[in-house]
Structure 1
């Protein structure tokens, strides 16, 4: 069974639970099976102001949870639908360093697309960036494609990441997200998605075509794990009508 991959943070440190973090990876030698200071493959991402951290509380649960998101305008952030389910409060952090620190803005509303693991969060005050990522209008799944995933998720053997990481993944077909909507099925080329990467972007052809929804299984220290990224194409009209982006 596929698993969603949000991560839970207790105090300032991240601790793993049964949920799995969506999408990023970082340079990690795989070998002795012990926790390493490197993520599950990939590399440290360059400064990416629009790649944000979502830190939130859930009704009836203790501690704080973390997901990855994409600032798509001064007022809106794109993420996974399961990252906003049952949330009682959320802050968006614009630092690419973990644990989340520095400038943050509270969220004042959440919107989820029915039947798709895609969500939008609205900021309580505007945050203007120099640029924003492009969203696809009509990506068609092709097994000849290779994309880039990014996120703040755990590294090899669930070691906590120190910032934003990225990895290459190849498209291996179509699949379903955790809400039952269409998804892009991926396999790691040099890195795997892990806990805390939920909502992170899949970038193909310079545009975001998916957001991290589930992994097929926890990657451990494998750099070739499989993941399912909810289709942005399927959500594109809903994103436009909700956010104007």
Structure 2
């Protein structure tokens, strides 16, 4: 059994994975070596730094989305690491042929909301890494882009990383009681497995996917979700990773 160490600096909340009865953006169960897949609607996209996370807990194997912010650091949602016993990180955007993973050796959660860091056991050099905002205040009318490997319409299993355009509605709360950005889908929406995936506004990441407004968004491309705002955790991320 592969084991993960908790980062000494972290204060990891005790809440379990976001319940599927109350949130659409929770982790997705993984069968065999198949990584959890895509956003509802939207379109296929490619990114060197938006990664697939596959991890084991006492009751099964699950999948989330993450962002490589440095050669050995991944940003994701805290509910994707809580109770996790091992984690593999895939850098391929293909779900069906994800390639060889890099194992995580440490994980830690922010004290300020549903935000987490994953440390890789070996470095991964990329052409670019995920750009993080210094701060962001949710403004109604802002347009953003979400990315993820979550389920598609009707819970279907897609094959590739996907993205969608969303509209910021205002502020809300994430799964851990932290500040969140409430968004509604424009041409696509988040679903199970998109947890930890990024919300870009103005070309930088301002939040990570935490919860959905409904348990099962079905095929609703306009479904709402809540992205944990990185602002309160930004100093913590910088102190740990240097980013």
1:235 is matched with 233
Contact (CA 8 Å) 2:112, 2:233: kept in 1 or not? no
Partner SS, residue 95 of structure 1:
coil
Contact (CA 8 Å) 2:75, 2:115: kept in 1 or not? yes
- In 1, Cα distance between equivalents of 2:169 and 2:228: 14
1:196 is matched with 193
Query: Is 1:162 the counterpart of 2:159 in the alignment?
Result: yes
2:15 is matched with none
Tell me the matched-pair count.
221
- In 2, Cα distance between equivalents of 1:2 and 1:185: 15
Contact (CA 8 Å) 2:64, 2:196: kept in 1 or not? yes
Contact (CA 8 Å) 1:98, 1:162: kept in 2 or not? yes
Contact (CA 8 Å) 1:14, 1:160: kept in 2 or not? no
Partner SS, residue 189 of structure 2:
coil
- In 1, Cα distance between equivalents of 2:179 and 2:63: 24
Superposition pairs of residues 1-245 of structure 1, within 5 angstroms: 2-3=22-23, 4-13=25-34, 25=39, 40-45=40-45, 47-58=46-57, 60-62=58-60, 64-99=61-96, 101-217=98-214, 218-245=216-243
Contact (CA 8 Å) 2:35, 2:95: kept in 1 or not? no
In structure 2, the gaps of 5 or more residues are: 1-20
In structure 1, the gaps of 5 or more residues are: 16-20, 26-39
The alignment's TM-score, normalised by the length of structure 1, stands at: 0.87
Runs in 1 of length 4+ with deviation above 3 angstroms? 12-15
- In 1, Cα distance between equivalents of 2:112 and 2:238: 17
